[in-house]
């Protein structure tokens, strides 16, 4: 896969009950970086989340978030955009052009929250996330989590100096083999509320 396809995702659980995601190149000094087009993840089974909120708003000036989909096991990709290679609960599309994945996005970030209540690491299946890179021209490459550093693990070298937040750092992503289409459930009764 090489250096150009490696992405690091740092997820911070804030004291306000939000999850902040930061996607960036694993090697910021590399000559070129992958173009981040989409992120897909599932809400964990048993989570009490009924509504997900996203910052920034879709197509907000100065940000890269250009579309969001949230349907229980019903998000496989975006029309003329990144495809996840499977069914997920949530998909986010990134680009520099409104409503599209066009344009180079080597790094980006966003925040999730719910109301009422709060989010924690346990609400999101972090180990099952997928990132799609370089999909504008060639169909792209689907990357999966290949390693995690959890600050709660004994012997972890993650920075846990700030007790108000925990950092799950270095979710390094690598290629995912294509999966068979299993025909996901797109029933509206399973949709998450989005704000």
Write the DSSP symbol of residue 79.
T
pLDDT-derived band at 152, boundaries 50, 70, 90: low
Helix (H, G, I), strand (E, B) or coil at 175: strand
Distance (Å, whole) CA 1 – CA 9:
17
Average per-residue pLDDT in the chain?
A: 78
Question: What percentage of the chain carries pLDDT values higher than 70?
Answer: 73
Q: Which of 5-19, 60-74, 98-112, 181-195 has the lowest mean pLDDT?
A: 181-195
What is the pTM (predicted TM-score) of this model? 0.77
Task: State the Cα angle at 133 between 108 and 44, rounded to 5°.
Answer: 70
pLDDT in tens, 84-127: 989 999 999 999 999 999 999 999 999 999 988 899 999 999 98
Q: Which residues contact 189 (CB under 8 A, 6 or more apart)?
A: none
Distance (Å, whole) CA 39 – CA 100:
14
The helix (run of H) or strand (run of E) holding residue 86 is strand 83-94
pLDDT, residue 163, reads 32
Q: Which of 176, 187, 184 is nearest to 85 (CA)?
A: 176
For residue 166, pLDDT beyond 50: no
The DSSP annotation for 8-50 comes to EEEEEE-TTS-EEEEEEES-TTSSS---EEEEEE-BPTT----
Structure tokens at 153: 């693990």
Q: Tokens 């790094």 correspond to what residue?
A: 107
Report the pLDDT averaged over residues 164-186. Answer: 39
Distance (Å, whole) CA 83 – CA 111:
22
């Amino acid at each position: 896969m090489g250096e150009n396809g490696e992405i690091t995702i740092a997820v911070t659980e804030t004291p306000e009950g939000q999850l902040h995601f930061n996607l960036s190149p694993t090697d910021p000094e590399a000559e070129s970086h992958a173009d981040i087009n989409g992120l897909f993840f599932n809400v964990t089974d048993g989570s009490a989340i009924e509504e997900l909120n996203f910052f920034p708003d879709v197509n907000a000036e100065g940000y890269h978030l250009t579309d969001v989909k949230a349907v229980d096991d019903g998000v496989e990709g975006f029309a003329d955009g990144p495809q996840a290679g499977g069914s997920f609960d949530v998909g986010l599309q990134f680009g520099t052009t409104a409503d599209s994945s066009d344009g180079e996005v080597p790094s980006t970030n966003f925040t999730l929250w719910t109301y009422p209540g709060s989010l924690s690491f346990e609400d999101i299946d972090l180990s099952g996330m997928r990132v799609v890179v370089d999909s504008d021209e060639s169909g792209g490459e689907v990357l999966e989590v290949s390693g995690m550093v959890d600050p709660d693990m004994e012997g972890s070298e993650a920075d846990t100096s700030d007790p108000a937040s925990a950092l799950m750092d270095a979710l390094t992503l690598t290629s995912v083999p294509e999966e068979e289409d299993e025909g996901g459930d797109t029933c509206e009764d399973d949709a998450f509320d989005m704000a």
